[in-house]
Each structure stands twice: as C-alpha cells, then as structure tokens.
Amino acid sequence: MDGHGIIKGLMVSCKRFIDTYLDDIRWFGRRYRTPEGIAHRMSKDTAGLFTVQYPEEKLPVPEEFRFIPFLVYEEDAEGNKIHRCTSCGICSKVCPPQCIWIVRTLDPKTGRPVPEPAEFYIDIDVCMNCGFCAEFCPFDAIKMDHDYEIAVYDRLTVNIYDKAKLSKPLSYYAMIRPSNYQKEEMAKAEKETLKAARKASGNS
Amino acid sequence: MTQQLTTITETLVERFPGAVLKDERPGYEGYLVSAENLPEIAQFLRDQMGYDYLSSVTGVDYLPEGKMETVYHFFRSTGGSALELKVSLPRENPVVPSLVSIFPGAELQERETYDLLGIIFDGHPDLRRILLWDGFDGHPLRKDWQEPYYEEEAKPFKSRWPEGRAIRVEEKNIFKKNVKYPAGFDPETFTPEGDTSLFASLDKLKRHDEESGMKSDHIIINFGPQHTSTHGVFRMAAAVEGETIIGLKPAMGYLHRNHEKIAERNTYLMNMPYTDRLDYLSPLSNNFGYAIAVEKLMGIQPAERAEYLRVIMAEFTRISNHLFLIGSLLNDLGAYFTPMLYALEERELILDVFEAVTGSRMMCNYFRFGGVARDLPEGQLQKIKDLAFDRLPRKIDEMDRFLTESEIIRARGVGVGVLTPEEAIAYSTCGPVLRASGVPYDVRRADPYSIYERFDFDVAVRYHGDVYDRFLLRFDEIRQSIRIIQQAVRDMPEGPVQSGKPQYQAKVPAGEAYGRVEGPKGELGYYVVSNGKPNPWRYHVRAPSFINLTALEKLCVGNKVADVFAILGSIDIVLGETDR
Ligand code: SF4
Ligand code: SF4
C-alpha cells in the first residue's frame, strides 16, 4: 500500500492528456469538423479527445445503417411516381411489432387486386428498426432509411406515416445505399438476360 | 455419449422404480418424474451422479392436455450435456415440492415460475411474486391469459393486410379500461403490500436477546429502485446491524414487459430482434443463444463462414460488455467517469464495426436460422483486424496499467463479497461470478457449441471469489476473446453466410430444445418448445443476470453497507435481462 499503483494509473491519464495536445498539433486545424478528422478519430490510431460535438459534427452512418423504412418509387417518362410495391403483404406479415398496415387496391371493375397499394402506413412509434421488411420484400420496394433526426413535438398527430410520407425516389435509395443498389440492379439485369435468352431459344 | 445416457437411464430407473419414466414424446428428451419423488431424485443426482449444477427451472402450460409441467435442467460442474427432469402437474392445482433446500440456486427461478405460471412450490422459503406486482390478476404465461392490449392469439395479425387501416392500439383498447384486477381489488383504495412482504422476508433475522430479555430489532435500509449505482431500476432491502449487512432481499420487475409472452405470440424469426433487447449490452450473444436453440429444433447447420462470423461477433460483444463493466464498476467504487470513458472509447470502436456490419450499434438483429443476415461489407474485415491485432491488445494493457494495481481498488475489492466454489455452484451462479470463485466452468469448453472446439483459448479462472478477482477476471476474458477473434479471422473461409434460402417462415418441427451459450454475463439459455405451428408454444430465457442475483444475499452478508454496490457492480447485471 505505498501508492505505487495509483501513481502508475495517474501516469496513464497524464499521457492521455498530453496525447490530446500532440494529436491536435499533428492534425493542426483539421482534427475537428472535417471528414478526414472524423475518420481519423474513428480509426484504430485515434488518440486524445474522442468526443464528437453533435450536432455541429456528425458521425457518418455506414451503408448498412437502418432506421425507419421508406417506400421506393420510380418515375416514368411523364414524371408519374410508380411504386415498386405490389402490396403483396409480406412485409406486414414479417414485421415483429406488426406496425405495417397495407390496404390493397382492388380493380373497381373486376374486383381483382391490382399491384399497387391504396394505402400504406407505418406506425413509426412502434417500429423497432429491425430491417426485416426490407430484407424480405421480394420486390426491393421497401428499404431502410439513414435519416435518424425525426424527433417531433407531438407523436400522436404525425407519427403514423402514410404512403405519401413514406415514399422516396429510387435515386435517393441509390445514393444512400450505393453498393446494395448496384448488387440488386446487376441481379435484375442478369435475370432479364436469362429470361430473354430463354425466350429466344423457346422461339427458335 | 449414448452409452453414458443409457447407463444414466438404467441407474435412475433401477433406483426409483415407477417414479422415473423416459420422456418418449417425439422431439423431447429427459425424464418425467413424479412430484413426490422429485427432491429425492434431485438429491440423488447431485450426490451420487455428479449433477450438481441446477441451471434452469421453468414451467410449461400444456393447455390442450390440461396439464402443466415444470422443467429442470441439471448439469455437471465438470462439464457435459444436460440432464432434464420434468414433472407433470394437473392444471387446476399445480403443486410441486421446492428444490431450494437442495439447490439454493432455484430460489428466484421458482419464484418466477410461480409468478408467471402459477405453479406452487411447496416448501419454498419465500414464495412471493417477483416480477409482477400485487394487484396483478392471474399468471400471464398460462395459455388462456390475455394481455390488456390483446389482439389475436398469434402474429401476424389479420387486421394488417389486405385491409390494413392503421389505428393505434391505445385507441382501440382504452388505457385503464383494459386492465383486469383480481376479485375484490380496488386500485383506488389499495395500499401496496409489496413493501410489507419484502420487509417481512427479512423478519426472520429478528433476534430475541436471551440475557437481557430485550427484543432487539435491526434496521432496514432500502436501496433503489431509483439509484445511480443499481445500473437501472433495481431495488434492495437490507437488514443491518451497525454498518454490517445481515440480510438482503432484491426486488425487481420494474422493467418487466413479459418478453416470454410476447415471444409466444411472435413467429420464430420475429423473436430475433426482441432478444437484442434482453441484455442490451450484448445483443449478439443473445442472438446466438436463440439461433442455436431454434436450429437444434429445426435440425439445421449454419453455414461455415457464418459460424466464424458468429464467433467473431460474439467475442467482440464479450469484450465490449466487459469493458463497460470495468468502467461502471469503477464508477460504483467512486472513480467517477475517467475509467468509464476510457472503456467506452474502445467500446465505441467495436460498436462502429457492429453498426457497419449489422446495421445497428446495439439492436443488432444479425443472426438468422442457418447463418447470419449478411456478409461483412467492404473494409470491415480490415477494421476487425485492426482492432483485434493492434488496437485492443494495446489498449487492454493500458487499462490494466491504469487500474489493476491501484491501491484504492484493491482496498475496496480484495476480500469483499466472497463466494466459495461450493456456494457458487449451489447457487447456480454462472459466467464470471462462477469462474472467479475458482470453478473453471465455461460453456464454450464444458459443453461446446458452434465451432469453439476449433479454437485455442484458456478458460479464465481466479480463485479468491471476491470483487477484485471478478474484476481481474474480466481482463483475462477480454484477452482470451482477442485470441479467439485473431484465430477466427485467420481461419475464416469464403463462402455463403446462410445455409439454405433466407426464409421468413421457419419450419420448426414439434419438440423441445435448450440452447445455451456462454454470454458475457454467464450461461444464457433458451428453452423453446414447438408444437409444429409457426409460433413457439413455449419460449423461456434462462437469464444469467437474473440467476446470478440469487447469490446476492450470500455475497453481501457480513460486508459493509458501502460494499453492496461494489458487489452488485461486480456481478454485472443488466435490468433488461433481469426483468425481461
Ligand atoms: S413493400 Fe414489398 S413486401 Fe411489402 S407489400 Fe410491398 S412489395 Fe410486398
Ligand atoms: S423495420 Fe422492422 S419493425 Fe420497422 S416496419 Fe420494418 S419490419 Fe416492422
């Protein structure tokens, strides 16, 4: 009990204290509020101050980050929004807290379902951000968002998102999840060529 | 192994003729025993056959057959697989002898089974509700019990599609009108008896001073539920004499949400993200245990690459959990925040990897039946290597230099809250608590699962069983985990990360399974019963945080009031898991 252990411990915090300044000097001016600075602070070599000054600085979110789903739509030549969703209902069946509500559209003449949802709701108070809906949707029609700053004052009036609020363009999806998007497009193209090839061989 | 099992069967049947029957239902294991013979058989198992560790006690309500069953999982503290006993009871009057006198570790678990299923444990010293309150009507895990926001027996609910007009559940089912109370119960005039019964459970300590003829009363001190050092909403009532604790009772359930009932309404896959929320500091270990239990039932093997990814993730989880513990234990000891923040830095870097790979820092939801959700995104393997080969070993050494020799920590930890190996086993403690008491029991070695047999690592063990050893053991375990990750990264093959196609409806044949893993806090077990339908019939979590608390009184008695939090901190509980 000679205090030797405490002194040893204090040396560690002292070294950390000095490192903070050394790192600041080494990264002169670029350590804070710059993307490289933040990347450096998230790397294995980070030393010194670790805190991120949110909201002035924000950590970049990785591609796989998931927060509240959105519905992907494509635009046709006239600028009409065409949802990829066919209202097949798989996402609402797989959703663990059962917060997806879908109204299927019926053709007024035939009474048959048409592949476009009449209404699509997600109660985002209930959504647990599990990502299952996006994972199991067979049409790549629902995807997880990156936008986590969605605090509101009154949850009772705004937090059941409807189809309009959930819809985001394909270009947005391609922007936040570039590599997933590429993979999906490639898989689709491959399928198309296979189909075409099969058709061609069937015709001949 | 089968040979060993036949001899066990023979011995048991021979020794207790007519009282022990092999459980022959398809998909089931173990033995059905009669209620009156249960204590005798348990004693025999412990004393003659080496099954000295009663890991899990729970019950199942078989409503269609009009019966209930209690289920016991025994293990040998030297390793090996489970021996399972079941007692079948009539549903109207389910009474079974308590095992607390033979296995003190059954105390809290029997109370929980009583609370949630209404099975009476005859001879239990303190049979009260544990997770629910006094004004609660009925026993929620009985199959005919319905929750206030009841919608349908099982998910997916029909109202969601194709005519799903969104409505909030609280609008359909008005709060306060939806609650049932027991007969004769009026919430307006109710005065809680919880306190009285909690304190009454300490009354046994009242002494009658023979010499002076005076009755001497002890003082009862209440800690929590709101208290900075209970790591959540947790309460304890301690009887003290002067500064010394002479008795202590935990009270919990403030965070109870009946995880198990929710799970029984869910489909198998839906439960995966719910398990994240048990011990929210180690979500990936929780996923692991559940995946193993269901895979056992389904009879499938995970893909090879996925096994490695699982191990890497689970070991990172252990490291981040232990780092958090080291920091918060130091907080409890009064070293405010410097150690905590140093520990959190490393944890953040680990969580960065989790976020990039699984999509979330804490609610990872990464495991699937037969594999994992996705392969490592680009660049993450390098991050993992950086952490495992460079950053973490360096930083753990720094932490070690920073803390372990500190005279203050030694003064607060050495010789405080001692648990002997015999007690540690008897109280069914697990994980670091058990191993710091000198019992080298680690499920990864004792009953290997996944691919842990392929790795070279030591079971961390320390021998004094005090707070300081439990603290040091965390460092040992972190170092071993780093070793495992290094080997896993080196050996990981290429290939798919799921065996079979990704499916949202798991086809689970009827039967039962007990999947257990060595979580950071100890043995985490999932007991799952399937009846072939898309939803589990029974889903029980053997929560290490909860069961380790059985020994809390034992650990605290004889120590000073101020040591209670050091001891509680060294057990490492998370209330999300304790209260479920
Ligand atoms: S989002 Fe996908 S899964 Fe959900 S209904 Fe539409 S197409 Fe089906
Ligand atoms: S992320 Fe999960 S909880 Fe949220 S809507 Fe999708 S499936 Fe449901």
Query: Token pair of B314, please?
Result: 């689970």
Task: Report residues whose beta carbon is within 6 angstroms of any ligand 2 atom.
Answer: A 69, 95-97, 99-100, 122, 127-133
Contact A51, A76 (CB under 8 A): no
Residue A8 to residue B168, Cβ atoms within 8 A: no
User: What letter does residue B80 receive in the DSSP assignment?
Assistant: -
CA A93 to ligand 2 centroid distance, Å: 10
Please indicate whether, in this complex, the C-beta atoms of B271 and A96 are within 8 angstroms of each other.
yes
Task: Name residues whose C-beta falls within 8 Å of residue B39's C-beta, 6 or more positions apart in sequence.
Answer: B97, B99, B101, B102
Residue of B171, B270, B280, B378 to mutate, interface with A, max A Cβ within 10 Å: B270
Residue A101 forms contact with B (CB below 8 Å): yes
Is A130 touching ligand 1 by the criterion CB < 6 Å? no
CB half-sphere exposure, B225, CA atoms < 13 A: 11
Q: Tell me the C-alpha to C-alpha distance, in Å, between residue B532 and each of B58, B316, B507, B526, B541.
A: 21, 35, 8, 18, 20
pLDDT tens digit sequence for A148-200:
998 888 888 888 888 888 999 989 999 999 998 998 889 889 988 998 888 88
At A39, the amino acid letter reads: A
| Cβ(A88) – ligand 1 distance below 6 Å | yes
Instruction: Calculate how far, in angstroms, residue A143's C-alpha sits from the geometric centre of ligand 1.
Output: 10
CB contact under 8 A, A132 and B411: no
How close is the nearest chain A Cα to the Cα of B42, in Å? 40
Strands B367-368 and B244-251: unpaired
Architecture of domain A69-188: 2-Layer Sandwich (3.30)
**Domains of chain B and CATH, by start:** 3-122 (3.30.460.80), 195-251 (no CATH), 259-579 (1.10.645.10)
**Residue B164's CB: how many other CB atoms inside 10 A?**
24
Query: Which structure tokens are listed for A103?
Result: 């109204």
Select from B369, B407, B505 the residue whose CB has the most chain A CBs within 10 Å, as the one to mutate to test that interface: B407
Per-residue pLDDT of chain B (580 residues; tens, 9 = 90+): 455 666 777 787 878 877 788 888 888 888 888 888 888 888 888 888 888 899 999 999 988 888 999 999 999 888 888 888 899 899 888 899 998 988 998 989 999 999 999 899 988 888 888 888 877 888 899 888 888 788 888 888 888 888 888 788 778 877 777 777 777 777 777 776 666 777 777 766 665 556 666 666 778 888 878 887 777 888 888 888 888 888 888 888 888 999 999 999 999 999 999 999 998 999 999 999 999 999 999 888 899 999 999 999 999 999 999 999 998 888 888 778 888 889 998 999 999 999 999 999 999 999 999 889 988 988 888 989 989 898 899 999 888 888 888 888 888 888 888 899 998 999 999 989 999 998 999 999 888 888 998 998 999 899 988 999 999 999 999 999 999 999 999 998 988 888 888 888 888 888 999 999 998 999 999 999 998 888 999 999 999 999 999 988 888 888 888 888 889 888 888 888 888 8
Asked whether A99 lines ligand 1 (CB < 6 A), one says no
Q: What is the complex's ipTM, to 2 decimals? A: 0.90
The string of DSSP codes covering B205-260 is: G-EE-TTT--EEPPEEEEE-SS-GGGTSS-EEEEEEETTEEEEEEEE--TT---HH
Indicate whether residue A101 lines ligand 1 (CB < 6 A): no
- For residue B207, the model assigns a pLDDT of 59
CA distance B38 to chain A (A): 39
The side-by-side arrangement of strands in the sheet containing B83-90 is B20-22, B31-33, B83-90, B67-75, B53-62
Picking from B2, B90, B76, B71, the residue whose alpha carbon sits closest to that of residue B30 is B71
What's the first-to-final CA gap in chain A, in angstroms? 92
A16 neighbourhood in chain B, CB within 8 Å? 342
Rounded Cα distance between B427 and B18, Å, is 30
Residue of B nearest to A125 (CA): B168
Beta strand spans in A78-174 (E): 81-83, 100-106, 113-123, 142-145, 160-161, 167-169
